[in-house]
């Protein structure tokens, strides 16, 4: 049986396809060697040796020793060096390499073959004693840890002592003599710990390292990793023994990772790294200085919007896929990890901790908004591009799909981005997002804090101007494509701060007495705001808000038309409707406003009034709602929340356990719960279309960007999906896959 496979010098026994036998690393080293890449020579002990090792009580097949000796001779020949030689010694690296990559889970030994003789030769040949003894002390430390099982802390203490003796702080400030002495200290410690000398015989070192790598297949880390990634224990690991090359032998040497292909898959490059900051203001300050920052908050509020904008990404410890921070961040194309419950944030000390790891303000973290990973340090990133092959695939997708794809967007930047990614319209303008920015939130607060209706009208005038300008710009950018503008949705208290200091600030900025801010905050306080005074309920109690918004929309349509642009079909959407009466009352306000604006402007335009379907009652009453509603848009974030009775902001804390226990397969806020929420949607589609033939229907909850949910939308006959701009390409592809 061939247990050992050689590679190097333009030839190899193995090939890339032999992953099962040679492991991923071994198979690819063989392939690279045989296509002529300058791979340092070496050999691979197969995964079958590992399997046999465990079957035969940690012993090796009898032929193995001979095969390794032969392979080693080949490496000596190919490298022109000799293992254990006192003038030109060959040094080896010994690494694990399973069929599937298990990064960092198993053991590795480098610089193997160093002893008191070979180190002298290495010093002489390299002309660098410091380098030679540094390599030696690293080897003794690594081997003692990995093979001899000696605690690393012993060596760390000795290293510290050496630095103290020399009066320096950094390892690299130690000179050759210090390191030589350190090796002696290390070896003395080894003797104390195991009652034997450190092995000087390179062959003994080699077999020790090979055994350690095979043994590490069964260490706890590797076992856990296999469980998490469904890697069978029976696969075993290969061991790769390879001639050492040095990345630290002068300025013409380096180590690192290089890609011969773009590692990006074209769409999922959502890594986006930065220095940790804990306040929106700090994010803005540092971003202005050109720093890349990552905003970390326990949770976010409208007050943080400038920070979200300035940051490369957002990490929150509360909330989930559909909570505020995630939705806003996604809209801006910022990756967001929301609800990372294991992260403890200490604002006062400006640091966060996860278990024993502490990260101070200014340290770098990387987050992946797709997988929810939070990574210490910086990961290189690639901006997504829609050109080339990716563009071709998108064009193919557009040929086959029948579902339209729109975007959820509220700023000109979002809208432009959405159009660039191929959005066919805007399915949801969350108008409240337009008031999050800087000075604007003040106008909103003035409106909320108004003493009476007259006061409120003045504040509304100010909001009307802003809203009209924003919507005009959106209509202009979308150039005739449909734009659905939703009336104000969130509970008003979201715009009012709650700490004394913040309230004082707001009172000053809004020019109202502090007492009034306190009183309004208390009045607006709700036990259950998500089920409280929000959505259309706001417009029912403050019809002047609805009127202002409708006016802004229609005046914007008129302005675009008068400027010679394509007059859009303005779609006015009412959120959180439960009853026909709610919709009828608000539709009347909108219609009256439309008539007034058409008269004032002396021009006609087409518009539609429709409703969000985001409550179970609305689904069941869809037939009736369709009498008034000219379109439906399923708000599956709220529909999931209300159908499941599961808070969109709090579920992140326990849903992972639900997933782990198999109670739910997927977070229902990420991928539509087809059996429950989906049934309600089916009912609503059927009843709505029976009442109003051919009625236009879409989805604008976060599920509109999730491929499995998109497939469902296609199946139940929706006309479009609407998702955040950066998910549009994925949605186009998923819609095509659903159609095929």
638 makes contact with Mg ion (CB under 5 A) = yes
Can you tell me which of 23, 320, 701, 729 binds ligand PEP, judged by CB under 6 A?
701
- Is residue 635 annotated as involved in ligand binding? yes
* Candidate list 700, 703, 713, 723, residue with the active-site label: 700
Query: 3-class DSSP state for residue 442?
Result: helix
- Is residue 215 annotated as involved in ligand binding? no
Residue with tokens 């050759």: 176
Q: 377 phi and psi, to 5 degrees?
A: 95, -175
- Is residue 636 annotated as involved in ligand binding? yes
Nearest to 47 by CA among 231, 226, 207, 237: 237
Stretch that binds ligand PEP, among 21-29, 47-55, 253-261, 633-641 (CB under 6 A): 633-641
- State the nearest-atom distance from the C-beta of 534 to Mg ion, in Å: 9
Question: Is 713 among the residues known to form the active site?
Answer: no
Residue 137 interacts, among ligand PEP, Mg ion, none and using kind-specific CB cut-offs from 5 to 8 Å, with: none
Q: Cβ(725)–Cβ(331) under 8 Å?
A: yes
Can you tell me which of 419, 430, 440, 445 binds ligand PEP, judged by CB under 6 A?
430
Helices (H), 332-376: none
Q: Cβ(107)–Cβ(217) under 8 Å?
A: no
- Nearer of residues 369 and 635 to ligand PEP, judged by Cβ: 635
- State the nearest-atom distance from the C-beta of 427 to ligand PEP, in Å: 9
694/696 Cα distance (integer angstroms): 6
- State the nearest-atom distance from the C-beta of 635 to Mg ion, in Å: 4
- Is residue 20 annotated as involved in ligand binding? no
Residue 631 is given by DSSP the state E
CA distances from 101 to 13, 224, 231, 304, 672 (A): 21, 14, 10, 40, 32
700 makes contact with ligand PEP (CB under 6 A) = yes
Sheet with 237-243, edge to edge strand ranges: 11-12, 4-8, 42-45, 237-243, 92-98, 108-112
Instruction: Please name the helix (run of DSSP H) or strand (run of DSSP E) that holds residue 207, with its range, or none.
Output: helix 202-216
593/568 Cα distance (integer angstroms): 17
CA distances from 81 to 44, 72, 88, 125 (A): 19, 11, 6, 12
Q: Cβ(387)–Cβ(694) under 8 Å?
A: no
- State the nearest-atom distance from the C-beta of 573 to ligand PEP, in Å: 10
Question: Is 324 among the residues known to form the active site?
Answer: yes
- Nearer of residues 577 and 597 to Mg ion, judged by Cβ: 577
140/187 Cα distance (integer angstroms): 8
432 makes contact with Mg ion (CB under 5 A) = no
- Is residue 116 annotated as involved in ligand binding? no
Residue 365 interacts, among ligand PEP, Mg ion, none and using kind-specific CB cut-offs from 5 to 8 Å, with: none
657/433 Cα distance (integer angstroms): 33
Stretch that binds ligand PEP, among 15-23, 280-288, 458-466, 630-638 (CB under 6 A): 630-638
Residues forming beta bridges with residue 359, ordered by sequence position = 352
* # residues near ligand PEP by CB under 6 A: 11
Stretch that binds ligand PEP, among 297-305, 412-420, 622-630, 631-639 (CB under 6 A): 631-639
**Residues in 342-381 that interact with ligand PEP by CB under 6 A:** none
**Residues in 577-616 that interact with ligand PEP by CB under 6 A:** 614
Can you tell me which of 635, 652, 668, 678 binds Mg ion, judged by CB under 5 A?
635
638 makes contact with ligand PEP (CB under 6 A) = yes
Query: 3-class DSSP state for residue 243?
Result: strand
- Nearer of residues 444 and 700 to ligand PEP, judged by Cβ: 700
Nearest to 345 by CA among 329, 327, 330, 365: 365
* Candidate list 324, 433, 493, 703, residue with the active-site label: 324
Buried b (16+ CB within 10 A) or exposed e, 200-212: eebeebbbbbbeb
637 makes contact with ligand PEP (CB under 6 A) = yes
- State the nearest-atom distance from the C-beta of 728 to ligand PEP, in Å: 16
- State the nearest-atom distance from the C-beta of 310 to ligand PEP, in Å: 23
386/381 Cα distance (integer angstroms): 16
Residue 185 interacts, among ligand PEP, Mg ion, none and using kind-specific CB cut-offs from 5 to 8 Å, with: none
Antiparallel, parallel or unpaired: β 373-376 and 364-368: antiparallel
Stretch that binds ligand PEP, among 144-152, 494-502, 581-589, 632-640 (CB under 6 A): 632-640
**Which residues, other chains included, contact 600 with Cβ-Cβ below 8 Å and sequence gap of 6+?**
none
Residue with tokens 């696969």: 235
Can you tell me which of 31, 361, 368, 489 binds ligand PEP, judged by CB under 6 A?
489
- State the nearest-atom distance from the C-beta of 491 to Mg ion, in Å: 12
Buried b (16+ CB within 10 A) or exposed e, 276-291: bbbbbebbbebbeeee
Residue 726 is given by DSSP the state G
- Nearer of residues 178 and 414 to ligand PEP, judged by Cβ: 414
- State the nearest-atom distance from the C-beta of 700 to ligand PEP, in Å: 4
Query: Which residues make up the interface to Mg ion (CB under 5 A)?
Result: 614, 635, 638
Binding-site residues: 430, 486, 614, 635-638
Enzyme catalytic residues: 324, 700
Binding-site residues for Mg(2+): 614, 638
Binding-site residues for substrate: 430, 486, 614, 635-638
Query: Which residues make up the interface to ligand PEP (CB under 6 A)?
Result: 327, 428, 430, 489, 614, 635-638, 700-701
């Amino acid at each position: 049986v061939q247990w050992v496979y050689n590679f190097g010098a333009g030839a190899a026994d193995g090939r890339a396809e032999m992953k099962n036998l040679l492991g991923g690393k071994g198979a690819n080293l063989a392939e690279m060697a045989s296509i002529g890449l300058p791979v340092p020579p070496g050999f691979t002990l197969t995964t079958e040796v590992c399997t046999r090792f465990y079957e035969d009580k940690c012993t090796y097949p009898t032929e193995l020793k001979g095969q390794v000796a032969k392979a080693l001779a080949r490496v000596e020949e190919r490298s022109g060096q000799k293992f254990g030689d006192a003038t030109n010694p060959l040094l080896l690296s010994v690494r694990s390499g399973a069929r599937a990559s298990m990064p960092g889970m198993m053991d590795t030994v480098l610089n193997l073959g160093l002893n008191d003789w070979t180190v002298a030769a290495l010093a002489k040949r390299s002309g660098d004693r410091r380098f030679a003894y540094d390599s030696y002390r690293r080897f003794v430390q690594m081997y003692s840890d990995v093979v001899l099982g000696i605690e690393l802390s012993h060596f760390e203490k000795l290293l510290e002592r050496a630095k103290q003796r020399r009066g320096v702080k950094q390892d690299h400030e130690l000179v050759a003599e210090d390191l030589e002495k350190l090796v002696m200290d290390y070896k003395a410690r080894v003797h104390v710990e195991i009652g034997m000398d450190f092995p000087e015989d390179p062959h003994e070192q080699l077999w020790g390292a090979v055994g350690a790598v095979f043994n590490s297949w069964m260490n706890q880390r590797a076992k856990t990793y296999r469980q998490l990634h469904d890697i069978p224990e029976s696969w075993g690991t290969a061991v790769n023994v390879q001639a050492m090359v040095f990345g630290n032998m002068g300025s013409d040497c380096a180590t690192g990772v290089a890609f011969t292909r773009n590692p990006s898959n074209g769409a999922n490059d959502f890594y986006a790294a930065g220095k940790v900051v804990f306040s929106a203001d700090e994010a803005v300050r540092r971003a202005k200085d050109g720093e890349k920052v990552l905003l970390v908050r326990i949770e976010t509020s409208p007050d943080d919007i400038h920070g979200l904008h300035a940051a490369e990404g957002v990490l929150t410890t509360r909330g989930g896929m559909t909570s505020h921070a995630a939705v806003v961040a996604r809209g801006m194309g910022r990756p967001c990890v929301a609800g990372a419950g294991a992260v403890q944030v200490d604002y006062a000390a400006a640091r966060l901790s996860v278990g024993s790891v502490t990260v101070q303000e200014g340290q770098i973290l990387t987050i992946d908004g797709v997988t929810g990973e939070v990574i210490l340090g910086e990961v290189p990133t690639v901006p997504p591009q829609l050109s080339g092959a990716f563009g071709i695939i998108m064009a193919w997708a557009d040929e086959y799909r029948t579902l339209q794809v729109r975007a959820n967007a509220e700023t000109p930047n979002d809208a432009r981005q959405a159009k660039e990614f191929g959005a066919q319209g805007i399915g949801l303008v969350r108008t409240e997002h337009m008031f999050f920015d800087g000075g604007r939130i003040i106008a909103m607060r003035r409106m909320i804090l108004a003493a009476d209706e007259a006061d409120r009208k003045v504040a509304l005038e100010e909001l009307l101007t802003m809203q009209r300008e924003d919507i005009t710009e959106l209509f202009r950018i979308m150039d005739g494509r449909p734009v659905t503008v939703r009336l104000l949705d969130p509970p008003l208290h979201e715009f009012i701060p709650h700490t004394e200091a913040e309230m004082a600030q707001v009172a000053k900025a809004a020019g109202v007495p502090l007492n009034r801010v306190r009183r309004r905050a208390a009045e607006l306080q709700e036990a259950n705001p998500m089920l409280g005074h929000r959505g259309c309920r706001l417009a029912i109690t403050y019809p002047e808000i609805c009127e202002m918004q409708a006016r802004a929309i229609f005046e914007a349509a008129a302005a675009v038309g008068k400027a010679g642009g394509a007059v859009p079909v303005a779609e006015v959407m009412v959120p959180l409707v439960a009853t026909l009466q709610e919709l009828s009352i608000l539709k009347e306000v909108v219609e009256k406003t439309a008539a007034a604006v058409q008269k004032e402007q002396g021009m006609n335009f087409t518009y539609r009034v429709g409703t969000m379907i985001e409550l179970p009652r609305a689904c069941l009453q869809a037939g009736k709602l369709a009498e008034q509603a000219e379109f439906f848009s399923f708000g599956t974030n709220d529909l999931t929340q209300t159908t499941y009775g599961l808070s969109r902001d709090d579920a992140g804390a326990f849903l992972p356990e639900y997933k782990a226990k198999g109670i739910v397969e997927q977070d229902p806020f990420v991928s539509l719960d087809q059996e429950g929420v989906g049934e309600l949607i089916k009912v609503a589609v059927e009843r709505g279309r029976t009442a109003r033939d051919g009625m236009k229907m879409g989805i604008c909850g976060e599920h509109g960007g999730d491929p499995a949910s998109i497939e469902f939308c296609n199946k139940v006959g929706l006309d479009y999906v609407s998702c955040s701009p950066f998910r549009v390409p994925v949605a186009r592809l998923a819609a095509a896959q659903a159609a095929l």
